[in-house]
Chain A
Amino acid sequence: MKTSKILIVDDELSVRTSLSEWFLEDGFRVETAESGEDALQKMHGGPYDLILLDIKMPGMDGITLQKRIKEIDSDVVIIIMTAYASVETAVEALKLGAFDYVTKPFDPDDLTRLVRNALKQKDLADENIQLKEKISELSGADEIIGESDGMKRVFELVDTVAETDSTVLIRGESGTGKELVARAIHSRSKRRYFPIVAVNCGAITETLLESELFGHEKGAFTGAQYRRKGKIELANGGTLFLDEVGDITAKMQVDLLRVIENKRFTRVGGNEEIQVDFRLICATNKNLEKLVEEEKFREDLYYRINVFSIFIPPLRERKSDIMPLTNYFVKKYARSMGKPEKKISPTAQEMLLGYSWPGNVRELENAVERAMVVGKKSEITEADLPLHLNGDGHASENLIKLDDLEKEHIKKILEEAGGNVTRAAALLGIDRVTLYNKIKKYGLKR
């Protein structure tokens, strides 16, 4: 169970000592500060769950200190202690976000109840943040669709590894659904009631990634106006998913290795070690072995993350998944757009199956979403699919027959030549007889 940490700020030694002892006997971790300045100094050392603050102190008074503390850590619970039953001051403190105030000396029962309630509220607030994170994860979740042998193998591996706490490395081309597989592992694991926190390591700079992963203290860098928890801390109890792990810099590789090995880290600009418990799932579309060989990726980190590897085959190698995926996306977008579900015309199906899908499932999903937006008919036709599918060399040659193309071209040239066969034959680079034969074959008019 988590032990709450309390800071007692009071200029009187006897108050600090006696409160300290009281809370130590209750099993709390306790620190004391004799002034506002001392308290602010301590704030940079580590997060507190609760601060008991004397309102009347020489130097910085309690109200000013409360404002400064809230600037550093807006989550901390503050209880104001006052020797005077000054309603005005207490109300001001409450307006500034104090949880409550107590008048010295306290009744032991009041103090116990107050602290218990304050910490309970903080726990609820923390839990609320975690649940919101969880909801946002769940609401964005998609099913993994696949009937091919390749995907059946992936499902088997997911089931095998989910219940263990092993680190997993998911490999596959961009758009194959690596994050979905990570979420599937998490949702089948014992950590499923805690969040899965995803970080795309390739999308941000080293400095931002550092702050994103480890969090930062107030003032750690320009713009760090508040203490912020990092993704690693948010993933406590759950799963940390690092996408595009092959793209991280050498420094981040060292930092990451340390936190994977020790499950401890410090926030950027902080000095308190924070212990975390998370399962790590990484994903990459890079050839990590090659990167290790080229000394662009640390070998020790490679072995740390490559404990259990899952490869997701590209969509072009599992054509039997294309139509089930298409139907799934049609249903998904029909529901979200409030439209009726559409069928796929035979020609459109042929086109979907003939394409090589270099962008994999993500490209297919985008194509279906677009078709659902632009399509006017009750079924998706080839005209609703993105144009590049028609012009792409990977698309099926059967979709537009050569004869049809020739017929249209001859018709167009004849029109340009004003029906003059000799001129049209010259423009087409063929002799007149051949052109006559083709006009006859296609039933064209001169």
Chain B
Amino acid sequence: MAFINAHFPPFWRNLPRDLNHCVNYSFELIDIPMNLNLFYSKERNQYHSTLIMAQLIKHLPADGDKIIGITDADIYIPILTFLFGEAQLGGRVALVSTYRLKNQFYGLPADSNLLYERVLKEILHELGHTMGLIHCSDFECVMNSSTYVENIDLKFSRFCKSCQGILGIECEE
């Protein structure tokens, strides 16, 4: 799990622990400095997500299986106005942006616990994609597609039974 250029709150170091109920990976936490200006679009005032992921995968340790980056930059892909996160379907790399997960973006007071929950869910969602999962129609499943931040809040930070079945895992209650 790679924190990109950011000084995230210390308690975010608990993310791997809070993912363990559904993901049977041992996480290594790394901090990555990255020159995001290389991926900056002046017209859009955003950062190209796919290009960041291409850079990110270079930081995957030799014994690592997957890498997921966390950035506070506002990310995009050319065809969409914004993204909460991006992943290679069935691949090794994923990226989550906290930019639009923050309450302040929507003119609301900051809520660090809510932000943590959202980040946790988005990480699990993108990791699900790297494990081959597609979007799920169960609105409470973490693999449900979220195009609004409110959708994320409706979801649980866990895979539904059907997605668990596809992965061959059982999330702990």
B89–A108 touching, CB < 8 Å: no
B81–A26 touching, CB < 8 Å: no
Q: Is B15 an interface residue (CB 8 A)?
A: no
Q: Which of A27, A106, A108, A111 contacts B134 (CB 8 A)?
A: A27
| Docked CA distance A24–B91 (Å) | 13
Q: Is A308 an interface residue (CB 8 A)?
A: no
Q: Is B77 an interface residue (CB 8 A)?
A: yes
A109–B148 touching, CB < 8 Å: yes
Q: Beta-carbon contacts of A186-210 to B below 8 Å, as 1s and 0s?
A: 0000000000000000000000000
Q: Is A147 an interface residue (CB 8 A)?
A: no
**A21: chain B residues within 8 A (beta carbon):** 77, 86, 88-89
Q: How extensive is the interface on chain A, given as a class?
A: 20 to 34
B80–A106 touching, CB < 8 Å: yes
Chain A residue nearest to B128 (CB atoms) is: A25
B80–A111 touching, CB < 8 Å: yes
CB contact under 8 A between A106 and B89, given known A18-B50, A27-B134: no
Q: Which of B80, B89, B129, B135 has the most A CB atoms < 10 Å from its CB?
A: B80
A104–B79 touching, CB < 8 Å: yes
Q: Beta-carbon contacts of A348-372 to B below 8 Å, as 1s and 0s?
A: 0000000000000000000000000
Q: Is A320 an interface residue (CB 8 A)?
A: no
**B147: chain A residues within 8 A (beta carbon):** 107-109, 112
Within 130-161 of B, Cβ neighbours of A (below 8 Å) are at 134-135, 145, 147-148
**B88: chain A residues within 8 A (beta carbon):** 21
A18–B80 touching, CB < 8 Å: yes
**A104: chain B residues within 8 A (beta carbon):** 78-79
B81–A105 touching, CB < 8 Å: yes
| Docked CA distance A97–B86 (Å) | 33
Within 25-47 of B, Cβ neighbours of A (below 8 Å) are at 44
Q: Is B82 an interface residue (CB 8 A)?
A: yes
Q: Beta-carbon contacts of B48-59 to A below 8 Å, as 1s and 0s?
A: 001000000000
Q: Is A17 an interface residue (CB 8 A)?
A: yes
CB contact under 8 A between A15 and B78, given known A26-B145, A27-B134: yes
A105–B145 touching, CB < 8 Å: no
Q: Is A154 an interface residue (CB 8 A)?
A: no
Q: Is A14 an interface residue (CB 8 A)?
A: yes
| Docked CA distance A107–B148 (Å) | 10
Chain A residue nearest to B134 (CB atoms) is: A27
Q: Is B83 an interface residue (CB 8 A)?
A: yes
Q: Report the minimum CB–CB distance from A28 to chain B (whole Å).
A: 9
| Docked CA distance A104–B44 (Å) | 12
| Docked CA distance A108–B81 (Å) | 7
Q: Is A12 an interface residue (CB 8 A)?
A: yes
**A107: chain B residues within 8 A (beta carbon):** 80-82, 147
Q: Is A43 an interface residue (CB 8 A)?
A: no
Q: Is A19 an interface residue (CB 8 A)?
A: yes
B78–A108 touching, CB < 8 Å: no
B134–A105 touching, CB < 8 Å: no
**A111: chain B residues within 8 A (beta carbon):** 80
A15–B79 touching, CB < 8 Å: yes
**A12: chain B residues within 8 A (beta carbon):** 78
**B81: chain A residues within 8 A (beta carbon):** 105-108
**A105: chain B residues within 8 A (beta carbon):** 44, 76, 78-81
B135–A14 touching, CB < 8 Å: no
**A442: chain B residues within 8 A (beta carbon):** none
CB contact under 8 A between A108 and B80, given known A24-B89, A26-B145: yes
Return 20 A-B CB contacts under 8 Å, by A number: A14-B79, A17-B50, A18-B77, A18-B78, A18-B79, A18-B80, A19-B79, A22-B80, A24-B134, A25-B134, A26-B134, A27-B134, A105-B44, A105-B80, A105-B81, A106-B79, A107-B147, A108-B83, A109-B148, A112-B147
The 5 closest A-B pairs by CB, nearest first: A109-B147, A18-B77, A27-B134, A108-B147, A14-B78
Residues of A near any B CB (own CB < 8 A): 12, 14-15, 17-19, 21-22, 24-27, 104-109, 111-112
